[in-house]
Structure 1
């Protein structure tokens, strides 16, 4: 059961000195800038699905526009520089220079959504640009085969490719870049071709760094998915284990009734005189069916029982032992009191066992999570005698507390809900405004042809 902790009290001791004039805004600005940079780095490490824009899963709208802003800035700066450089330094015609520059720079916008397709366009344009500028390849001339704008744009493109494509594709792109550079290095042209080696090395570095970020994001996402699956499987296993435990306990209740049916059916011909032969055969058939049902129930119980577990030899407990639970809680340091109605009447065995287990689990949670909290246990029947209400309320404790378990190795609320559901009742469990916790179970004592208006369990005075 959960309890509340005290609110913040008045501050005592030394007060934090006031910041010096003019120092707070820069500090706040740096802190805000650091937060945004960290968020941007997280977006870099978060892979997106194919066809979606880079940073498409980023929470902030401005972050989703960052790749487009970077691409447009790169295109607007590289396009005119490339045209001017191809015309003035490499002697390429105006129309050819404009076409090559557009093909080399414009696909960077496409790289936001389809980086691999953009790479194909840029790679072909870069090779054609190297061929077109072959006449400028001479000692002391401009670098060849890749112009400086080509190097910058290609590295930006590699960042987009590394964020999206798998490692095998990244290796293929890197090797293709090296193969194109090697082909121009081996060409019979006397020019400075060190830029081809430099682009090959820089491309590998960019792909390695960005690809590592993407793989790290993938690993984190897979780990999160696995944790969610494990949590769901753990909750499902806990529920199945609790259902099996309830089935094992209800086995004794059903077995008792079946044994009574067997004895009554077998002894009826001796207790009732003047029975016709057809009635005697009917009672014999009833006794045989009851014995067969008991045998099948024992087989079912052997399936539900885990390996190495032995069956319980003691009878299943009921409401007559609730007072013992309260006394055990008092001995554990919980100031508990109980109120049991004396006119409960005949309680079905399944409801009797479930009510005892609910009180047992609730008191165990008080001892575990709210030691020292005052606790009240109430078991009453409705005025019509149709519903049994089990109420366990604990106040806030002064000591350290921890939240009430609803999943895990213990039974807790999982077992309570299953027991109440199997009996056809309802369960209301949750924290109280004062920091305590309330468990109210309502289970049927008998069946009725007409539904009865719901009754709200109230705390005992």
Structure 2
């Protein structure tokens, strides 16, 4: 929402009480941690069935490469360690130990994008390695070596971030059955590692699944918020256009009524009119009355019957002192600078639509000062030259903490200003100031010539 005030993402001036400030700081820190966890889950998780690499949706390139670099680090570490341990501790030949090391560690690179296929390769290589180590009679840990456990837990973690609950449960049950069967063939003097693999793989699958589901929920929430925000913006735009249409009816209807009266009375006011001219005036009056009827029929759709205040005459810049006085009574100090009376009479050259739009822009700016920057000193400047009516509303930083219910706003401010200036062919510029205040500047045409509408007025969203 555009407003003549401190933007919502800017911290308001803190309250005087120290405990309140500490409480607000703690709440913000907690909210930041929750948001960070949610974003991490959204990045780490990938919907089931996708083959894109892990963190493929991360915003930065180094983050997208991080899973592959990590997997490569595990592979480079596990292959030589596995080869050395199998050769020195278990008595496996060097060639077979190297082949087992590659078969057990290399699938981690594939697991970055296709963890289920990598697990199938790894479980077969791990079972083969366990059979080889069990065939060597020694008192070393069996059936799983420490390197197998490390690699298997890593691939389980990658699996849990990609696969469904049913698939993860099946993988863990296979792990349990294979571990118990192979553990039954180990020597009595060796250390049993089957239970350790069962527990660690289960914990990795569970934690990864929880993180993935949290990321999926966060992703769905973001998508829903995006849709809701788009719908809210469209609804706000339509509401503001309907409001402008209702207000313009009162402006246009006055001129149409004058045309009707003048056309009806012309044959009586002007002597010697030919019959063709009388018929022309009668046709003009009939067309004007028909246009008024159509406008009233349209207004019945646009105007809600429960808002009788909208039937009052539409205000203009002549009502600006009353608006300022009411705002000052609400606690906002305002300095109003406007043309002298001799110059102010030139506002007769301003169209009613421009006059109404100028008043509404100032009204919305002051409303947002009270909502977002209570107590801030505000300056309103209205100047008039040969071609433009210039309006400038500038407020300083708030002197009081804004109401939490009002601080969020409704989004009508910028939409209303943009639609009004586009209607009359003007421009608007709104944005925050370095000192914490806000500035709204509007330039509207001051003559009755038809301006070319600006399809893209300059503005800044807050």
Match in the other structure for 2:102: 102
Match in the other structure for 1:16: none
Distance apart, 1:207 and its partner CA: 0.3
User: 1:407 touches 1:414 (CA, 8 Å); kept in 2?
Assistant: no
Q: Which structure ranks higher in relative contact order (CA pairs < 8 Å, sequence separation ≥ 6)?
A: 2
Distance apart, 1:426 and its partner CA: 1.5
1:6-41 Cα shifts (integer Å, max 9, x gaps): 999xxxxxxxxxxxxxxxxxxxxxxxxxxxxx9999
Mapped pair 1:351 → 2:348: no
Structure 1 residues 175 and 270: CA distance shift in structure 2, 3 A: farther
User: 1:326 touches 1:338 (CA, 8 Å); kept in 2?
Assistant: no
Structure 2 residue runs without a partner (length 5+): 15-34, 453-462
Distance apart, 1:374 and its partner CA: 4.7
Matches within 5 A, 1:48-447: 53-55=53-55, 67-68=67-68, 70-80=70-80, 82-83=82-83, 95-129=95-129, 135=135, 146-178=144-176, 180-181=178-179, 196=194, 199-305=197-303, 308-310=306-308, 312-333=310-331, 334-340=333-339, 341-344=343-346, 345-382=348-385, 384=386, 386-394=387-395, 399-400=399-400, 408-409=409-410, 411-431=412-432, 437-446=438-447
Match in the other structure for 1:25: none
Structure 1 residues 58 and 408: CA distance shift in structure 2, 3 A: same
Task: Report which stretch shifted further, 174-183 or 215-224.
Answer: 174-183
Structure 1 residues 424 and 179: CA distance shift in structure 2, 3 A: same
User: 2:38 touches 2:218 (CA, 8 Å); kept in 1?
Assistant: no
Structure 1 residues 301 and 120: CA distance shift in structure 2, 3 A: farther
Q: Structure 2 CA distance, aligned partners of 1:6 and 1:90?
A: 68
Distance apart, 1:424 and its partner CA: 0.7
Q: Helix, strand or coil: the match of 1:408?
A: coil
User: 2:418 touches 2:428 (CA, 8 Å); kept in 1?
Assistant: yes
Higher helix share: 2
Q: Structure 2 CA distance, aligned partners of 1:84 and 1:315?
A: 92
Q: Helix, strand or coil: the match of 1:165?
A: coil
Q: Structure 1 CA distance, aligned partners of 2:376 and 2:89?
A: 86
1:244-273 Cα shifts (integer Å, max 9, x gaps): 211211111122222223333333444445
Distance apart, 1:323 and its partner CA: 2.0
Match in the other structure for 1:21: none
1:81-100 Cα shifts (integer Å, max 9, x gaps): 54466668878665444433
Match in the other structure for 2:29: none
1:364-418 Cα shifts (integer Å, max 9, x gaps): 3444445555544443321x3x322233344566x32659x99833743432332
User: 1:335 touches 1:375 (CA, 8 Å); kept in 2?
Assistant: yes
Q: Helix, strand or coil: the match of 2:428?
A: strand
Q: Structure 2 CA distance, aligned partners of 1:40 and 1:412?
A: 34
TM-score, with length taken from structure 2? 0.71
Q: Structure 2 CA distance, aligned partners of 1:328 and 1:43?
A: 49
Q: Structure 2 CA distance, aligned partners of 1:326 and 1:126?
A: 81
Distance apart, 1:56 and its partner CA: 5.4
Distance apart, 1:55 and its partner CA: 4.8
